[in-house]
């Protein structure tokens, strides 16, 4: 079945460091790809998304490019801040899954801690 694999954390960085969180996927159809973020004590928030190959999603300085050839959707940010400390989830939604684009399959999450 469809699955998402993301790098295990925790990841600890200093402020202004470069961030990469790797995400790869397995899907039988044509998935849309997402990054969600969960700040401490809060729910999940959509960070960015890409719906087809070579699309780049971006938001709040974060970017991820949908790479079909490598089945990857790595999250990057050039300069992290303390306020970026959170758990980041990579997810896919496959049109073939239940016939709806709404059903997300999540990776296990990567906890990011940014130190001042």
Partner 1 sequence: DSGVTQTPKHLITATGQRVTLRCSPRSGDLSVYWYQQSLDQGLQFLIQYYNGEERAKGNILERFSAQQFPDLHSELNLSSLELGDSALYFCASSVGGPTGSGNTIYFGEGSWLTVV
Provide, rounded to whole angstroms, the least separation between the CB of residue 18 and partner 1.
Answer: 27
**Contact code string over 71-110 relative to partner 1, x by CB under 8 A:** ------------------x-x---x-xxxxxxxxxxxxx-
Nearest to 93 by CA among 2, 31, 6: 31
Ranges of beta strands (E only) in the chain are: 3-6, 11-14, 19-21, 23-26, 32-38, 44-50, 56-59, 62-65, 75-77, 86-93, 104-106, 110-115
Q: How far is the CB of 77 from partner 1 (least distance, A)?
A: 21
Within 10 angstroms of residue 102's Cβ, the number of other Cβ atoms is 7
The answer to whether residue 40 forms part of the interface with partner 1 (CB under 8 A) is no
Min. distance of Cβ 3 from partner 1 in angstroms? 11
Judged by CB under 8 A, which stretch of 8-16, 17-25, 40-48, 64-72 contacts partner 1?
40-48
Residue with smaller CB distance to partner 1, 15 or 46:
46
Q: Tokens representing 38? A: 């969960």
* Contact in structure between 105 and 97 (CB atoms under 8 Å): yes
Contact positions vs partner 1 (CB under 8 A)? 32, 36, 42-46, 49, 51, 89, 91, 95, 97-109
């Amino acid at each position: 079945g469809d699955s998402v694999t993301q790098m295990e954390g925790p990841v600890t960085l200093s402020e202004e460091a470069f961030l990469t969180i790797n995400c790869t996927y397995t899907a039988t159809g044509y998935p849309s790809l997402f990054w969600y973020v969960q700040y401490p004590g809060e729910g999940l928030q959509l960070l960015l998304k890409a719906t087809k190959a070579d699309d780049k999603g971006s938001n709040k300085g974060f970017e991820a490019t949908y790479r079909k050839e490598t089945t990857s959707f790595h999250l990057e940010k050039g300069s992290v801040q303390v306020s970026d400390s959170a758990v980041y989830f990579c997810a896919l939604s496959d049109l073939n899954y239940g016939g709806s684009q709404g059903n997300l399959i999540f990776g296990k999450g990567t906890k990011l801690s940014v130190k001042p």
